[in-house]
Structure 1
């Protein structure tokens, strides 16, 4: 279909939906004569009349119902293209909910979100700190930034960086006690390694947060495994070598498949991915090594 034919078809659709030339003219913000001319032009191009012209207005004969419905589908498609194009050029604005772990929220993502706001002041990011995996299918969040071995089938995303882990204790404190992990962190790679390797009698406390585990270590309670950057950037702690194996895990930036192409969500996901990739060396850390 040529552009001219689609332009004429817009007038046909307006008349069909409004039931009269005058109403179609008001909807399209043109004069009465223009509507008549464009409908006639389309009918001439297809070689048939589309309306029964009565004293009550323009009626669509049943034989033409499928034609009008097809015109509606074309109209919806054209409108969808327009919305998509506007979305790609519009400034980044609106609300986006991002969920991530406590350590990434506190020490990595907050400065990144602050920089996003400078570039896009109309953007509002809700940063949801939780070590449990929120259900993106139920729209608990729009974007998840998560250390994980892989993604569930209903999520789409990219690996932005790799999160390395290290073992730390209070500076100058020689201890054989350990800080265990609880809650969702107990099921993480490092949590499972601690439970499988360290005897329960050596675990003096547990935490469902790496930030809390770091605080336990900093006050001398025991050895704590944590994201390497979290320990390396704390002057209260010493890194302990030769015990913790390489337990690195990918950091994914993902959305539910149904939300992945929403312009503001896709844009924020891309910018988060790029910002995390720029910190890849920091997030990887020195790595453990048994």
Structure 2
């Protein structure tokens, strides 16, 4: 393969993984025509039609799956080199991109960053608020603050505390209807409990954000399991005891394994852990 064809591989991989040109364009941040042009260029240069074009999308035939597997390995290697170069030139102080859920970004992180400004003035934190798992392998963030029972194999980090949950409903509301965590929150301890214990006929709606669930709950649309840090202290809500068992999940501060020991990122994680200690009671809630 000629050297200029290597960049086309990421377009091939994106189409293979997304199954459509539009999906690949969205992931890559380019337009539909660019993806089509790069796929055509790759196929013309190699003399191989890598995809079967069907009415349902682009399908990789079995004969070409090894090409896609090899392309995926190339992509991982390129990303790893990029992270290593990024780390090698990283100063001890500087900009750090931290991703956390919208609940943490709105209810906890402003106070944490205020403390960090005093204890680690050389670090400037950019917050990325997302309930989706931002791809640390592609250096979309340096540090993640993630509620989870455990970390995936590609992340390393420290347990920074515990998040507690409780059931809430609007004051004056006697509803037995439920609001469910949806989207990425369906994997949370609250989402799993609702899925396993609440009859579907009792679910009035849902949202992929605990902040939005709180607003729906406060409007009387149903009761919802919320993190203590989101529900406690809201004058529109009351806690409903005795229905939901004690739900807790660990809170982690982590980085991709390739970035874990970079000085400024390690320093940022340590500073974040120390600052989050002040939020322990608010995060965990009452026993």
1:197-216 matches, cutoff 5 A? 197-216=197-216
Q: TM-score, normalised by structure 1?
A: 0.65
| Structure 2 partner of 1:280 | 280
Matches of 1:171 and 1:275 in 2, distance apart? Answer: 33
Matches of 2:228 and 2:134 in 1, distance apart? Answer: 24
Q: TM-score, normalised by structure 2?
A: 0.66
| Structure 2 partner of 1:184 | 184
1:135-284 matches, cutoff 5 A? 135-284=135-284
Matches of 2:180 and 2:115 in 1, distance apart? Answer: 35
Say whether the 8 Å CA contact 2:165–2:226 is kept in structure 1.
Answer: yes
Matches of 2:129 and 2:150 in 1, distance apart? Answer: 20
Matches of 2:232 and 2:120 in 1, distance apart? Answer: 32
107-116 vs 231-240, which deviates more? Answer: 107-116
Deviations 1:232-275 (A, max 9, x none): 12111100000111220000001112111222111111011112
Matches of 2:97 and 2:259 in 1, distance apart? Answer: 12
What is the root-mean-square deviation of aligned Cα atoms in Å? 2.0
| Structure 2 partner of 1:101 | 101
Say whether the 8 Å CA contact 2:119–2:271 is kept in structure 1.
Answer: no
Say whether the 8 Å CA contact 2:115–2:275 is kept in structure 1.
Answer: no
Instruction: List alignment gaps of at least 5 residues for structure 1.
Output: 1-83
Cα offset, 1:123, TM superposition: 2.8
Matches of 2:121 and 2:187 in 1, distance apart? Answer: 38
Say whether the 8 Å CA contact 1:166–1:286 is kept in structure 2.
Answer: no
Deviations 1:146-182 (A, max 9, x none): 0101111221111111001000011121111111111
Matches of 2:115 and 2:140 in 1, distance apart? Answer: 24
Matches of 2:197 and 2:119 in 1, distance apart? Answer: 47
218-227 vs 255-264, which deviates more? Answer: 255-264
Rg (Cα) greater in structure? 1
Instruction: List alignment gaps of at least 5 residues for structure 2.
Output: 1-87
